[in-house]
Structure 1
Amino acid sequence: MGFKKHLSSLKSYEAGKPIELVIRDYGIRQKDIIKLASNENPLGTSKKVIKAIKKEAKNSYRYPDDSMFELKKSLAKKYKVDSKNIIIGQGSDQIIELLVQATCGSEDKILTSSLTFAMYEIYASHNQAKVLKTKDGVHNADQFIEIYQKSKPNLVFLCIPNNPLGDCLDRSEVYRILDSISSDTIVALDCAYGEFAAYKDKNKEIKPKEIIKKYKNCIYLGTFSKLYGLGGLRIGYGIADSNFIEMLSKLRAPFNITNLSLKAAIIALEDSTFLKNSLKNNFKEMKVYEDFAKSKNIDFIESYTNFITFMLPKSIDSSSLCEYLLKQGVIIRDLKSYGINAIRITIGLREQNKTTIKLIDKYLKR
């Protein structure tokens, strides 16, 4: 067939195992399954959002407003920017894809951390761009600056905070990297978990208004999939200089966001009580995992996200542990595919976390 030759060697993104798979393969009832693999909000979706979606459903026969005026207006108000500084995508993933399409070909390069969101490398591979990586998995400002100055990539991805590890650079370190990069290189600050970092430590907070004023070559990426509990509606956004947004928008397909997604995102921004409760639960429950890891002498990375990563010793195989939990109806993320013996656990509700920790402890005692 007439596909491009390089497609045969490309990797596909490995998503977290769905609940349906566990029901089908292990015969476990849906109500007995605990999914802590995809960094979804354990509180679910705001009741106000659900009500709005039901009301909006009657308009499903109509095409959505392709200008996305109301959502851009709401985001502009939240971040104190202009609507022309905003682009909306099917999750922030779509905007990442547009960025790579707009900047990279077979002669170009991108720069990432060695352990970070896999889609950066996958999209780069789609466009046959070369991927440069830092030595450390966690973000290291000195290493980013050194590789950039040596190799001058076209596109740099900073995952702030970093998925799948959970580490997060201070804002001052992010600015130090940006100050070292020339204006003809595009930089993406992927802040999908930015709200969690800002809640835990104000020194980690990235403010889009400051970014786009000082760095015309930089875009801030956000999503409604994590804190806002809208992973199933696939909606994200980018904030950048208006000229940057204008160029990127040329690649956006028309009507890429549904009516339901637009309405849900607008209402989600307004429900501050739901957001506060989500953040409070996250960091209260994260401490339970931290305390457990310390009691078992298991290393973990301090997390500024809604998940925690356990770096396992050689005596504990991450894949075997994940398979054991899966058979008990608990889905977590095995990071063996990233080349490390580690697991990533989404922070859940109290009973979910207690059950998960109890089962991990049981496995360790075997």
Structure 2
Amino acid sequence: MRFQPVLDTLPVYEAGKPIELVVREFGIPPEKVIKLASNENPYGVSSSVQAKVSEALVKMPLYPDDSYRELKESLAVSNGVGVKNVIQGNGSDQIFDFATRSVLEKGDLVLQNGKTFSMYSIYSGQCGADTLSTDSTEHDLNRFSDLYKKHHPKLIFLCTPCNPIGDALPKTDVFSFLDTISPETLVVLDGAYMDFGKTRDPKTEILPAEIVSKYPNVVYTGTFSKVYGLGGMRIGYGIANEEIIRAFYKLRPPFNVSQLSQLAATEALKDQDFVNQYLESNLRELEKYETFSESKGLPFFRSYANFLTIRLDRAKLSSTELFETLLREGIILRNLKSYGLNAIRITVGRPDQNRIVLDRLSALL
């Protein structure tokens, strides 16, 4: 069978190791496994969300309301935009898919950071586009500008705070950069970790309403997988001007978000106390990892997210060795070797989880 030639060069996205794999391979009871690899909410989900989903199980045989009116109205109100400015996605990465397919053709160029979420280039590659990456690990908008002026890419991805590094850009810098971009260039502003960034430094907060009012060529994307704890529900969203949203809807498959997912997301927006408590805990625990790294002389990237990326160039173990050693003990971290970094990314967990992980890291490093 012959497949599209572009598939020969595309990598397969590698997700963090699931708990089930560790249970099967090493015989560790699931309740003993500590998974801090995929930037999930270690506190689970709001109790009101759990109750809402339980009540709605009776609706499983039915297709969801394909207008997703209730969810979009909730998102519109919480973000200060209109319903016509919102589109729901099967995770925010489905919005990235819509963005690439809406504007890219074979031979087009896409601009992104040197180290960033790998699905940007994968979706772009599926369209036959080529990716331009800055030569910087953290975001450097001067380098973005240089590449933009030289190559005039069709699409730009900005991830702030950035996965897998954790760096964040000040809003004023982002807006100054966007002011220089042609309205014919689509920009995707990935705000998956925005809540964590604004908690650490309010200057990094970018509001979707500001994007809609100022930039007709920018789409803001968000997700319910992080602060709301709905990673397993696979639900995200895009917010942009109506022209972009109308174009994306032409690419959207029917019923692209499940019945239970939209109900869970709508309910999650109502419980900001749960979100705020998690954000406060995350920052406290993140600072413990930073203090540990400093005490061990291990360089790390200052994080504005719910994880810390620690470089191991000065350590006696490589990232692969450390990752595999801890995996056999039931501790799942993220090895960043595939990103060209001798580093591990640690999702900030609950205090009890972090205590165990820090003890083991101290002994090994």
Pick the TM interval, shorter chain: over 0.9
Q: Deviations over 1:28-86 (max 9, x none)?
A: 11011000000000001111100000111111111101111001100111111100000
Q: Which amino acid aligns with 1:14?
A: E
Give the Cα–Cα distance (whole angstroms) in 2 for the partners of residues 199 and 193 of structure 1.
Answer: 10
1:283 matched residue in structure 2? 283
1:159 matched to which residue of 2? 159
Aligned residue in 2 for 1:106:
106
Write the distance in 2 (CA, Å) between the matches of 1:9 and 1:267.
Answer: 41
Partner of 2:269: 269
Partner of 1:189: 189
How far apart are 1:248 and its partner, in Å? 1.1
Match of 2:300, SS? strand
Please say if 1:208 is aligned against 2:208.
yes
Runs of 4+ in 1 over 2 A off after TM superposition: none
| Inter-partner Cα distance in structure 2 for 1:203 and 1:6 | 41
Question: TM (normalized to structure 1)?
Answer: 0.98
Matched residue, 1:91? 91
The offset of 1:353, in angstroms, is 0.4
3-state SS in 2 of match to 1:63: coil
Does the aligned pair in 2 maintain the 1:184–1:217 contact within 8 Å? Answer: yes
Measure, in 2, the Cα distance between the counterparts of 1:75 and 1:269: 8
1:77 and 2:69 are equivalent in the alignment: no
1:336 maps to which residue?
A: 337
Q: Which residue of 2 aligns with 1:17?
A: 17
Give 1:141's aligned residue.
Answer: 141
Instruction: Report the CA distance between 1:200 and its aligned residue.
Output: 1.4
Q: Given the two structures, how large is their TM-score scaled by the length of structure 2?
A: 0.99
**1:135 Cα offset (Å):** 1.0
SS at match of 1:300: coil
Deviations 1:116-159 (A, max 9, x none): 00000111111120100111011111011110011000000000
Match in the other structure for 2:227: 227
Per the TM alignment, residue 279 of structure 1 is displaced from its structure 2 partner at its CA by: 0.3
Supply the distance in 2 between the matched residues of 1:61 and 1:30 (Cα, whole angstroms): 30
* 1: CA distance, partners of 2:317 / 2:61: 52
The residue type equivalent to 1:70 in the other structure is E
CA distance in structure 1 between the aligned counterparts of 2:151 and 2:96, rounded to whole angstroms? 21
Q: Deviations over 1:186-238 (max 9, x none)?
A: 00000000111111111000011111111000000000000000000000000
Q: Secondary structure at the match of 2:269?
A: helix
CA contact (8 A) 1:35 1:332 kept: yes
Alpha-carbon RMSD across the aligned residues, in angstroms, is 0.8
Aligned residues between the structures:
364
- Counterpart-to-counterpart distance in 1, 2:145 and 2:65: 41
- Superposed displacement of residue 8, structure 1: 2.5
Q: Give ranges in structure 1 of 5+ residues lacking alignment.
A: none
Q: State whether residues 141 and 176 of structure 1, in contact with CA within 8 Å, keep that contact through their aligned partners in structure 2.
A: no
* Separation (CA, whole Å) in 2 of partners of 1:8 and 1:186: 27
Determine the C-alpha separation between the residues in 2 that align with 1:207 and 1:236: 16
Q: Per-residue CA shift, 1:289-330, capped at 9, x if unaligned? A: 011001000011111100000011254300000011101110
- Give the superposition deviation at 1:113: 0.3
Match of 1:322 in 2: 323
Q: Matches of 2:137 and 2:327 in 1, distance apart?
A: 27
Distance 1:340 1:120 in 2: 18
User: Where does residue 259 of structure 1 map in the other structure?
Assistant: 259
Distance 1:363 1:167 in 2: 27
SS state at 2:96 partner: helix
Q: 1:5 deviation in Å?
A: 2.0
Identical aligned residues as a percent = 46
Q: Find the aligned partners of 2:59 and 2:200 in 1 and give their Cα distance.
A: 39
Measure how far apart 1:9 and its partner are. 2.6
Correspondence for 1:58: 58
Provide the residue aligned with 2:239 in structure 1. 239
Aligned residue for 2:28, secondary structure, equals coil
Q: Give the equivalent residue in structure 2 for 1:358.
A: 359
Contact 1:157–1:189 (CA<8 Å) still a contact in 2? yes
Query: For residues 59 and 74 of structure 2, what CA distance do their matches in structure 1 show?
Result: 21
* Contact 1:95 1:238 survives alignment (8 Å): yes
